[in-house]
A and B are shown apart, each in its own frame.
Chain A
Amino acid sequence: MKSLGSVTAGDHILDLKWNPEGTRLLVTPTTGPVLLADDAATLLQEIPGHGMGNGSSDWFAGSPATCGFDGKIRCGSREWKPGRGMIEHVRTSPDGTLLAAGQGKALHIFDASGSDEKSLCDLPAVVSDFAWNRKSPTEIATAGAGGALLWRLGEKEPFARFDWGGASLQVRWSSDGRWLATADQTASVHVYDIPRDNPLNMEGFESKVRALAFSADGKRLATAGSPVVTVWPCASAKGPDGARPIQVDGSENEVLALDFSPATGQLATGDGEGTLLVVTFEKGQFRRKRARLGTGISALAWHPTKPVLAVGHTSGLVTWLSMGA
């Protein structure tokens, strides 16, 4: 692995997001300006931050979209303050036409003209996280107290409920549209086989699951919180149901960040001590490369087409690493 360059933000890196073309990287620290850099790690722009804290960012209509504790969304020259209360995430729909932002019990959904008529309001619970369905861009899942709800834009009621009474902190939807996974306050992961309406509950994690990611083909789900990363198989008819997961050890501390490469299928993990693992899966086995990168790793983002990994640290440093062939 070879360093291609780096930039430094003012605080703990919360989120890294490549644009769809892979020419720009959006670097979101916990506080302070959001940085825009190119694929050669050249800093291009500093975008004003969101007061007491930034939320995760995304790309919308060709511009960086940011949000935060000030309750504002900024996208290019536009700024929206849709209601009172913090905004923790903005996420663009898979077809790039809509931008969603959770705020209290509302999921604001903007189109490129700024219209928010597709928003979901007065939801049963505060939206702690949400995820778009990559297979069907008008479907979105919200997570929060009670579990997860699946919505079709334009409809007032959810078309599916995974309401198991728990407390979901994060939600991810597999790219094939089949699986929905939530990480929960109770050190558990819930996975839903949507077509079969079959909920699976995975418990017994050492600690709260802090990171959750599906592989780009939807065949694997990685979960982490402790130093051991668990990778669940999702390719078979029954998916993780009754299957033995792969346990990836080698981290020295709690794993804080996970990301699967869309280009190579490799999994990158980063822990609180700065240990980076790059895991390659082969026929039910895996091999890993390990590197110590100094301070804790808090965010990871693979380039959409190249074997290049952006690594964000708790110190504010972001490094571009080439993983070679």
Chain B
Amino acid sequence: MSRIPVTILTGFLGAGKTTLLNRILGENHGLRIAVIENEFGEIGIDHELVINAEEELFEMNNGCICCTVRGDLIRILGNLMKRRDKFDHILIETTGLADPGPVVQTFFVDEELREQTFVNGVVTVVDAHHFSRHVGETHEAEEQVAFADVVLLNKCDLATAEELAETEQRIRAINALAVIHRTTRAEIEIKKILEVGGFNLDRATELNPHFLDAHGHHHHHHSDISSVGIEAEGECDGKKLNDWISKLVRDQGQDIFRMKGIFAVKAQADRVVFQGVHMLIDAASGGPWAGRPRKNSLVFIGRKLDREALTSGFRSCLT
């Protein structure tokens, strides 16, 4: 049974999520998309494919943020998966003040959802004109960018060229991996939202060959959220790598929002693909290298990341 892709749509209040959602629901793309909406705004979306549900955080382990999941999603998606006529895609719109962490973690933690769905991408809509103010007011605006695979820098018509450049630079400093699209009234090709293909390192390096370059980013950066990219030739020792990552997430998992890696592991012919959210990690075969150089790439997005410590820690795993 093929797993159903899930897109998580997040963004601060008024950034344009509802406009984007209406566009997705209204456009003739030939996909059956179910929408789960947590945003109970004044202008709700009245559409036959929209389910409204109140956000329900389940703390599974004494309030540890890494073990917090969304109970409402577990039950709604469980019900949708029972249907005879399955959907092609599921879209979850979070509230403007939502931490995307528990939403993503739900798909790591719940066994049934893991079997039947996968997170295709986190799309964050950012108000180009007000982002700096939002960042100053709450930590959620930054965290939503930190979790993003795709950022829609929206309302570009309301921002000056300088504001746009500065906001884009700020977003890039938080999340070096996300693809940024500049939009007005959330006008964008729908496939750029729905066909993200997960937290994809290959795609990111194709779009920006230098994004893993430790010296490639010298943005003026006020935030303590940032990205650290590591790239290294050679092969990893599987046990050392496992031990290092386990210790890292145990010690610093609360501050690591997302992580992704592609590893060349000794005695393993295929690529090993790794991803994680806070303390939850998952590794799987990424298929053959197929002519690509056999090397290791790893990205962390999080708070108070120590680039040198991460780099040296990873290098200690090389054979």
Contacting pair A185 B71 (CB below 8 A):
yes
Bound CA–CA A14/B54 (angstroms): 22
Selected contact of B79 from candidates A30, A144, A145, A207, CB within 8 Å = A30
Residue of B nearest to A125 (CB): B56
Q: Which residue of A lies closest to B44 (CB)?
A: A84
Q: Which of B57-65, B200-208, B268-276 contacts A (4 or more CB under 8 A)?
A: B57-65
Q: Which of A52, A69, A105, A165 contacts B59 (CB 8 A)?
A: A165
Report the minimum CB–CB distance from B217 to chain A (whole Å).
39
Shortest C-beta distance, A23 to chain B (Å), equals 29
Q: With an 8 A cutoff between CB atoms, is B111 at the interface?
A: yes
Given contacts A86-B51, A165-B62, contact A53 B56 (CB under 8 A): no
User: Known contacts A53-B51, A145-B71: does B84 contact A186 (CB below 8 Å)?
Assistant: no
Chain B residues whose CB sits within 8 angstroms of the CB of A169 once the complex forms: 71, 74-75
Residues of B within 8 A of A128 (CB): 56, 71, 75
The yes or no answer to B40 lying at the interface (CB within 8 A) is yes
Residue of A nearest to B56 (CB): A126
With A104-B54, A128-B71, A208-B111 already in contact, the answer to whether A167 and B82 are too (CB < 8 A) is no
Chain B stretch 73-102: residues in CB contact (< 8 A) with chain A = 74-76, 79-80, 82-85
Whether B60 and A166, one on each chain, are in contact in the complex, defined by CB atoms closer than 8 angstroms, is yes
- B283 interface hit (Cβ, 8 Å): no
Q: How far is the CA of A10 from the CA of B85 in the complex (A)?
A: 10
Chief secondary structure at chain A's binding surface: loop
B79's closest neighbor in chain A, by CB?
A: A53
Q: How far is the CA of A220 from the CA of B28 in the complex (A)?
A: 54
Q: Are A145 and B75 neighbours in the complex by a CB distance under 8 Å?
A: no
CA distance A87 to B57 in the complex (A): 18
For B34, B57, B58, the residue with the greatest tally of chain A CB atoms inside 10 Å of its CB is B58
Within residues 86 to 111 of chain A, which ones have a CB less than 8 A from any CB in chain B? 86, 88, 104-105
Q: How big is the A interface, by class?
A: 20 to 34
- Chain B residues positioned under 8 Å from A145 (CB to CB): 56-59, 71
A51 beta carbon closer than 8 Å to chain B: yes
CB-based contact B71/A86 at 8 Å: no
Is B158 interfacial (CB 8 A cutoff)? no
Chain A: CB-nearest residue to B40: A84
B34-66 Cβ-contact flags toward A at 8 Å (1 or 0): 100000100010001111111111111011000
Indicate which residue in A11, A86, A208 contacts B52 across the interface (CB closer than 8 Å): A86
Across-interface contacts of A105 in B (CB, < 8 A):
54
- Which of B60, B69, B84 has the largest number of chain A CB atoms within 10 A? B84
Closest Cβ neighbor of B50 among chain A residues: A52
* B83 & A30 in contact (Cβ 8 Å cutoff): yes
Q: What is the minimal beta-carbon distance from B76 to any residue of chain A, in angstroms?
A: 7
Decide yes or no whether B72 CB sits under 8 A from chain A: yes
Q: Is A314 an interface residue (CB 8 A)?
A: yes
* B40 A85 Cβ-Cβ under 8 A: yes
Q: Is the CB of A11 within 8 A of B84?
A: yes
B75 surroundings in chain A (CB, below 8 A)? 88, 128, 169
Residues of B within 8 A of A316 (CB): 84
- Residue pair A51, B59 in contact (C-beta under 8 Å): no
B113 to chain A, nearest CB (A): 11
B82–A30 contact, CB under 8 A? yes
Contacting pair B72 A51 (CB below 8 A):
no
Contact indicator per residue, chain A 202-216, by CB within 8 Å of chain B (1) or not (0): 000001100000000
Which residues of A lie under 8 Å from residue B63 when comparing CB positions? 165
Contact present for B52 and A85 (CB under 8 Å)? yes
On whether the beta carbons of A314 and B82 are closer than 8 Å, the reply is yes
Are the CB atoms of A69 and B51 closer together than 8 Å? yes
CB <8 Å contact, A86 and B69: no
Chain A positions 196-237 with a Cβ under 8 Å from a chain B Cβ: 207-208
Q: Are B53 and A85 in contact (CB under 8 A)?
A: yes
**A303 on interface, CB distance cutoff 8 Å:** no
A71 at the interface (CB under 8 A from B): yes
Contact B59 A126 (CB under 8 A): no
Which residues of the partner chain A approach B57 to less than 8 Å between Cβ atoms? 145
User: A12–B74 Cα gap in the complex (Å)?
Assistant: 18
Q: How far is the CA of A314 from the CA of B56 in the complex (A)?
A: 28
Interface string of A56-77 (1 = CB under 8 A from B): 0000000000000101000000
User: In the complex, which residues of chain A have a beta carbon less than 8 angstroms from the beta carbon of B83?
Assistant: 11-12, 30-31, 53
Q: Contact: B53 with A86, CB < 8 Å? A: yes
Q: Which of B50, B52, B54 has a CB less than 8 Å from the CB of A126?
A: B54
A52 touches B51 (CB 8 A): yes
Question: In the assembled complex, which residues on chain B have CB atoms less than 8 Å from the CB atom of A69?
Answer: 51, 76, 79
List CB contacts (< 8 Å) of A118-175 with chain B: 125-126, 128, 144-145, 165-167, 169
Complex interface: chain B residues within 8 A of A30 (CB): 79, 82-84
18 A-B residue pairs with Cβ-Cβ distance under 8 Å, sorted by A, are A11-B82, A12-B83, A12-B84, A30-B79, A52-B49, A52-B51, A85-B54, A86-B53, A86-B76, A125-B56, A126-B54, A126-B72, A165-B59, A165-B62, A166-B59, A166-B60, A167-B59, A169-B71
> Which residues of B are interface residues toward A (Cβ below 8 A)?
34, 40, 44, 48-60, 62-63, 69, 71-72, 74-76, 79-80, 82-85, 110-112
A11-B84, A165-B62 given; name 17 further pairs at CB < 8 Å. Answer: A12-B82, A30-B83, A31-B84, A52-B48, A52-B51, A84-B52, A85-B53, A104-B54, A125-B56, A126-B55, A145-B71, A165-B63, A167-B58, A167-B59, A169-B71, A169-B75, A208-B111
**4 tightest A-B CB contacts, nearest first:** A167-B58, A104-B54, A126-B56, A12-B82
